[in-house]
Amino acid sequence: MSGLWILFRRELGQTWGRGGGPVLALTFFACVATLLPLAVGASPARLASVAPGAAWLALALASLLSLERLFERDFEDGTLDLLALGPAPLEAVALAKGLAQWLANGAPLALLAPVVAVALGAGLSLVPMIFTSALIGGLGLSFTGGIGAALSLGSRRGGVLIAVIVLPLFAPPVIFGAGVIDAYASGLDWRPALSFLSAYSLAALALGPLAMAAACRNALS
Amino acid sequence: MFQALANPQRFMAFSRWAAPVLAVIAAGLLGWGLWLSFSAPEDYQQGATVRLMFIHVPAAYMAMFCYACLGAASLVGLVFRHVLADAAARACAPLGAGFTALALITGMLWGRPMWGTWWVWDARVTSVLVLFLFYIGYMALQAAIDDETRAARASGILALVGLINLPIIKFSVDWWNTLHQPASVFRKGGPSLPPEFLWPLGVMALAYMALFGALWLVRIRAEVWRKRAQSLALQAAG
């Protein structure tokens, strides 16, 4: 257990510390949000109607950014080989990596998401709901994305490949995440959407590490 | 039967005559189905465009059927590490993508006169589009990894991830569509098809199945030959 804790702290430090860490993803998120009014027009009514959805779309795109480094660096310098030989199963390693990815990338993005949505014209009353849905959804995005990152290990052109593999799989969290906010904003019952989103994230948390570990073993073989 | 065919030599002997037989069956059924389609009466609302259904609906059905085949082949390939199953999965994906594209394109051609628009973000249309994108992602992953066994295993894992995820995506898209107001141009289908429409539809569905079977066998054979040629070339190079 303590070994996994150390691994988790290491992953957290690496995701947080090197190569810009979450700052890069946050800046990307802000950039996408900035381009939106430039593309669809600055009319407040139009922006406000798409703000929560646009925030979720930008969130999904921003969570792709750091996926490439999730396994690739450890794969290239041989750390992944050592981790595979170590006492902890690769599934636990994948779990630690996914959780660290969520805390170091998903959580800062979830903090920024309400800011972006409000800047685009969403009501202030939506802020807690946007944060909650982005935080819960971020867990699902991290673990689903991690599968793509592990699968593309050892391939040519990793980054684009991860996006192509993973983005179709992001459909459910985006639908439920934006659905929570949409339902809440229009006074409907938002709990079903939030339950579905949580269910998706928990399923990704449970099954994602299995697929990631299988993909890592395959890449190392 | 599958166990017997798992032997590549036996499979090659079997598919050598099975593929042409299936192709002949497919051609016969296609001819019969098309004749039935064109002799079917015109729909009182849709007129002659209803005939597009006999091309469109079986393609959509095959899009999902191919994915089931891809998933099954990937599972067998991953569990038993069987070369032939890997070849089958690899051969299946472009066929599935082709049927999915056919379903999308004929759907657009049908949508233009019937709904008045090429594209509707309807639940079914959207989930078929996601399925198409998923096929593309699968093929991209396979093409991006140089080592063939490794590529087969990685894409096999992706196919299984998709097998779990595609029903979830289907569910979520349906849910999304009921949350947002469904497009008003989309007309819910009638209660049940009259027999003069059901017959051409059924025959065309069988024709597509036979066509897929024939093409799949031919493509698996091509995969086996390609591997054999590769190993011969390696031997010759010493």
Taking 60 as the threshold, does the pLDDT of residue B28 lie above it? yes
Of A175, A211, A214, the CB nearest to B175: A175
- What lies within 8 Å, CB to CB, of A48 at 6+ separation is A120, A121, A122, A123
What digits encode the pLDDT tens for the residues A142-154? 999 999 999 998 8
Which ipTM value was assigned to this complex?
0.87
Q: According to the model, what pLDDT value does residue B191 have?
A: 45
Q: What residues of chain B lie within 8 A of the CB of A219, using their CB?
A: 150, 154
Cβ contact A176:B169 at 8 Å? no
Question: A131 or B39: which carries more pLDDT confidence?
Answer: A131
Contact criterion met (CB < 8 Å) for A156 and B144: yes
Taking 70 as the threshold, does the pLDDT of residue B1 lie above it? no
Q: What residues of chain A lie within 8 A of the CB of B79, using their CB?
A: none
In whole angstroms, give the CA distance from residue A68 to residue A75: 11
Q: What residues of chain A lie within 8 A of the CB of B147, using their CB?
A: 154
In whole angstroms, give the CA distance from residue A126 to residue A107: 18
Q: According to the model, what pLDDT value does residue A54 have?
A: 86
Quickly count: other Cβ atoms within 10 Å of residue B157's Cβ.
23
Quickly count: other Cβ atoms within 10 Å of residue A218's Cβ.
23
In whole angstroms, give the CA distance from residue A100 to residue B212: 45
Decide if A168 touches B, using CB distance below 8 A.
yes
User: What does the DSSP 8-state code read for residue A106?
Assistant: I
Taking 50 as the threshold, does the pLDDT of residue A111 lie above it? yes
What digits encode the pLDDT tens for the residues B103-150? 999 988 888 887 788 888 888 888 899 999 999 999 999 999 888 888
What digits encode the pLDDT tens for the residues A162-191? 999 999 999 999 999 988 988 888 888 888
**Lowest-confidence region among B4-8, B79-83, B178-182:** B178-182
Contact criterion met (CB < 8 Å) for B160 and A151: no
Cβ contact B41:B196 at 8 Å? yes
Q: Exposure string (b/e) for B141-156, b if CB count within 10 Å is 16 or more? A: bbebbeebebbbbbbb
Q: According to the model, what pLDDT value does residue A51 have?
A: 85
Contact criterion met (CB < 8 Å) for A218 and B141: no
Q: According to the model, what pLDDT value does residue B183 have?
A: 46
Taking 80 as the threshold, does the pLDDT of residue B194 lie above it? no
Q: According to the model, what pLDDT value does residue B179 have?
A: 62
Contact criterion met (CB < 8 Å) for B175 and A196: yes
In whole angstroms, give the CA distance from residue A171 to residue A200: 11
The pLDDT mean for chain B works out to 86
> In the structure encoding, which two tokens stand for residue A135, read together?
């935080």
**Collapsed DSSP state (helix, strand, coil) of residue B47:** strand
Give domain status of residue B3, yes or no: no
Mean pLDDT of B25-51: 84
Q: What residues of chain B lie within 8 A of the CB of A171, using their CB?
A: 130, 169, 172-173
Give domain status of residue B7, yes or no: no
In whole angstroms, give the CA distance from residue A177 to residue B179: 13
Share of chain B above pLDDT 90, in %: 42
Least Cα separation, residue B63 to chain A (angstroms): 16
**Lowest-confidence region among A72-76, B16-20, B41-45:** B41-45
B165: closest chain A residue by CA: A169
- Domain definitions of chain A by residue range: 2-220
Distances (CA, A) of A18 to A24, A36, B15, B152: 10, 29, 55, 33
State the total domains in chain B: 1
At residue B180, what are phi and psi to the nearest 5 degrees? -75, 150
Mean pLDDT of B185-209: 74
B158, B170, B178: best mutation site toward chain A, by most A Cβ within 10 Å?
Answer: B158
pLDDT confidence band for B186 (50 / 70 / 90): very low
In whole angstroms, give the CA distance from residue A175 to residue A56: 9
B161: closest chain A residue by CA: A211
Cβ contact B236:B65 at 8 Å? no
**Lowest-confidence region among A60-69, B94-103, B206-215:** A60-69
Bridge partners (DSSP) listed for residue B47: B43
B137: closest chain A residue by CA: A165
Q: What residues of chain B lie within 8 A of the CB of A193, using their CB?
A: 179
What digits encode the pLDDT tens for the residues B59-108? 988 999 999 999 999 999 999 888 889 999 999 999 999 999 999 999 88
How would you write B104-171 as a 3-class SS string? Answer: HHHHHHHHHHHHCCCCCCCHHHHHHHHHHHHHHHHHHHHHHCCCHHHHHHHHHHHHHHHHHHHHHHHH
Q: What residues of chain B lie within 8 A of the CB of A50, using their CB?
A: none
User: Which residues constitute the domain of residue B175?
Assistant: 19-182+197-237
Taking 70 as the threshold, does the pLDDT of residue B187 lie above it? no
**Scanning the structure block, which residue is given the tokens 């819910």?**
B188
Interface of B with A (CB under 8 A): 130, 133-134, 136-137, 140-141, 144-147, 150, 153-154, 157-158, 160-162, 164-165, 168-169, 171-173, 175-176, 179
pLDDT confidence band for A52 (50 / 70 / 90): confident
Decide if A151 touches B, using CB distance below 8 A.
yes
The pLDDT mean for chain A works out to 88
What digits encode the pLDDT tens for the residues A4-16? 888 888 888 887 7
In whole angstroms, give the CA distance from residue B19 to residue B217: 6
